[in-house]
Structure 1
Amino acid sequence: GYFLPPVSLTMEEANALALLEPLVTRFSDRSTRQHFGTALSKIKMVLGHLQRKNFEQIQAGTAHFIPEQYVHMLPDTGYLSAIQNAIVGKNILRIEYENNNGEHSTREVEPIGLTFYSLNWHLIAWCHLRNDYRDFRTSRIQHLAATMMPFRKTDHMTLEEYLKIMEETLVRETT
């Protein structure tokens, strides 16, 4: 791990984080919720009494409604932090994955990013088995292990480039 140097936040910046808390609670996994909660606690510890009171008022007055029928669609894998660490460290992940047909496979992947759509987090990664970029829905990852092995491919596209290609493909297919 590493430590960030001390940071000074304006009250508006701290309030922006408070505004995001319900989203993080609903749309992330336990690893991210834990880290976000710890970060918010650290922020609250350095606020003055009045600032802390205002911050807590923002927290209490912020909610995001998600119908119960969708809540079960957000599995709590606990893998998001490990994926983020692999992206930053450029380390290969080994995943056991179940595709949408119920077929199981073990893959070694080089993660380039995480994206959230259709009420699910998706790992975008170079797949050694398929020798191509693949979209892995994190809720279908049965097991994830950080290998600490460096990426083998050196010229990855960015997540933004991948998503642009996918968007262009979708537009072509629907027109």
Structure 2
Amino acid sequence: MNRLTRITAILIQLQSKKIVTAKEIAERFEVSLRTVYRDIKTLQNAGVPIGSENGVGYFIVEGDRLPPISLTEEEANSLIISEVFIKKQGDRSLSKNFNSLLIKIKATLKKFQKENIELLSKRTFSFNKGEIIESNWLSDIQKAISSKTQLEITYKSRYKEELTNRQIEPQAVYFTNNVWIVIAFCHLRDDMREFRLDRIIYLNTTLEPFEKLSYFNLQEYFEIF
């Protein structure tokens, strides 16, 4: 992420809640506190009225916020429910993208809506006794499905723990038993295969279009397999 993009994102984050700490910003963008201070100073020099309180954090002075959007209470509440479940599903790329979206939405909410959402986020829980199985490839796979682009992956087998390199054409993804799975045509096996995302060690997006499958129906697939 270049500096201009980061500074713009910091401004949106400041719009999303009443107080944002330098530590929160640093952790989100994986930069040092010194970099955060420099970026905040840049925004202030550009005329953005950012206030600060020692030991508390930064805030946008009232009157310079984005115009609020109109969300019903039920719509705002559904954001929190979605946030809870997405945090529990295990894929870091999806969690990161949803968190970025949530920050942008919060930035345009009215003050009382932000306060209500912050309260609900502290009072909404999901008790999942199963292990959260982490992965980090869902966003890349979704892009490949929509663009019909082949992927190169290194995959670890379930039983022998062997690594194999595969060229796949991803067709669909589903979530079951705390695991994300991609259904894909595998060039190595010359057949449809399912791959657990947590067992993908490496993934590369190619520029090669699908070669084998021009049609795929998820319902028909589940009926057959």
Q: TM-score range by the shorter chain?
A: 0.7 to 0.9
TM-score (norm 1): 0.81
1:98 is matched with which residue? 156
Give the structure 2 partner of residue 155 of structure 1. 214
Kindly report which structure 2 residues correspond to 1:52-71, keeping only aligned pairs within 5 A, or say none.
Answer: 52-67=114-129, 70-71=131-132
Distance 1:8 1:114 in 2: 33
Could you tell me which runs of 5 or more consecutive residues in structure 1 were left unpaired when the two chains were aligned.
1-6, 167-175
State the SS of the aligned residue for 2:169. strand
**Aligned partner of 1:17 among 65, 79, 82:** 79
How far is the alpha carbon of 1:126 from its aligned partner? 0.9
User: Which runs of 5 or more residues in structure 2 are unaligned?
Assistant: 1-68
Mapping 1:1-175, distance limit 5 Å? 9-67=71-129, 70-71=131-132, 74-75=133-134, 77-101=135-159, 102-166=161-225
Give the superposition deviation at 1:131. Answer: 1.7
Determine the C-alpha separation between the residues in 1 that align with 2:193 and 2:70.
39
Q: Is the 8 A contact 2:149 2:207 kept in 1?
A: yes
SS state of the match for residue 58, structure 1?
A: helix
Q: Describe the shift of the 1:94–1:8 C-alpha distance in structure 2 as closer, same or farther (beyond 3 A).
A: farther
The CA RMSD measured in Å over matched residues stands at 1.8
- Quick check: 2:76–2:113 contact (8 Å CA) kept in 1? no
> What TM-score does the superposition give when structure 2 sets the normalisation length?
0.64
Higher relative contact order (CA 8 A, sep 6+): 1
Deviation for aligned residue 1:153: 2.5
> Take 2:179 and 2:103, find their aligned partners in 1: how far apart are those partners?
27
The 3 A distance-change label for structure 1 pair 10 and 111 is farther
Please give the alpha-carbon distance, in whole angstroms, between the structure 1 residues aligned to 2:197 and 2:72. 35
